[in-house]
Copies of this chain bind each other. A is one copy, B any other.
Amino acid sequence: MNPYEGLERPPFVWNQHKDVPEKVHEWIRPVGEKRPEDAEAVLYGVPLSRSSISPSAASAFPEACRRAWRGFTTYNLDEDVNLSGLRLYDLGDVKQHVTDIPQCHQNIVDASADVKRHHPGSVSLAIGGDHSITAMIVKGLKEAAPDKTIGIVQLDTHFDLRDMRELGPANGTPIRNMVESGLVKGEHIHNIGLHGFFNTPDLKDYADHHGIHYTTLKQARKNGVAETVAQALESLGGKVDCVYFTCDMDVLDMAYAPGVPATTPGGMRTDELFEAALVCGRHPKVMAMDIVCLDPEKDVAGMTVKAGTHVMLSFLTGVAMR
């Protein structure tokens, strides 16, 4: 039995046979019969994407990400940081139901809260799944620590502020969901990377009305994307207890990330995204993150799966540098 109630074991485990881990799959630790006590960071998969507006196999990314680990070493040459010193556990996947989406979402809330309660000091990474999961994870974090104020740094092509009454808790509504349910205040949300013809004016009005901060990719590039993220974190740092970093992979340009449900031209480059993820990881108030809307079945040459996995490692590099 998996020691976490709402979580199943990951579908497979690597046979780790190196004394000193070189590759990521040799480093990340599986969980045994008991919850580990020494986790500095934990990750779990959220294989849900039937709540996506357009058809999506983002539910397949948790497993695809685990498979991709083998293609990466633990050593970040750019920063001369070896992740293998970080104690990171793979807790498994949140249980899902084939036709009961509310149950799926409740499971995510429960798992998120459960993980937070047992690992209050660990950084947690959720491997999605579509963007609807973010509101559920944050709800779980809030349940586990009701007094903590949470800020959000969101990298996304979209506002994700669409109307809950029309779509329910889908991948177009998580930010609105969090605002309307009182989990997060509008002014504690920073969305960076928006661009082009992929949002509607009413969503901008909603953002303005609720004081949500947003910076288009074009604006962000003036100082650099990473610097823009750093400023958002600095601004949040003085106002909230902890920061949640949510990375919608569709923020990337379609040349770099064809494997998302609605890939667009005019988006971010991977080098910008990786640096932004590192900046988030390095900030002491960032205690959780997710990677969402990555659909491995739409991928070309495996490049989006690699990019998503690299985001995870860039973020962890930041964590290791704290």
Contact = CB atoms under 8 A, between A and B. Distances in A.
A274 interface: yes
A255 interface: yes
Contact of A310 (B15, B24, B52, B266): B266
A10 B301 CA distance: 25
Interface in A127-175: 132, 167-170, 172
A300 B297 contact: no
A204 interface: yes
Contacts of A70: 11
B59 A197 contact: no
A112 interface: no
Interface string A288-322: 00000000011011110011001001000000000
A265 B310 contact: yes
A116 interface: no
Contacts of A182: none
A51 B197 contact: no
A202 B167 CA distance: 38
A75 B203 CA distance: 11
Nearest to A9: B15
A269 to B, nearest CB: 8
A256 interface: yes
Contact of A12 (B12, B264, B274): B12
Contacts of A57: 55
A246 interface: no
Nearest to A10: B15
Contacts of A172: 98
**Which 6 pairs, one residue from A and one from B, show the smallest C-beta to C-beta distance?**
A99-B168, A55-B57, A258-B301, A50-B50, A72-B197, A9-B15
Interface of A: 8-15, 17, 22, 24, 49-53, 55-57, 59-60, 70-78, 80, 82, 97-101, 132, 167-170, 172, 194-201, 204, 216, 218, 253-256, 258, 262-266, 270-271, 274, 297-298, 300-303, 306-307, 310, 313
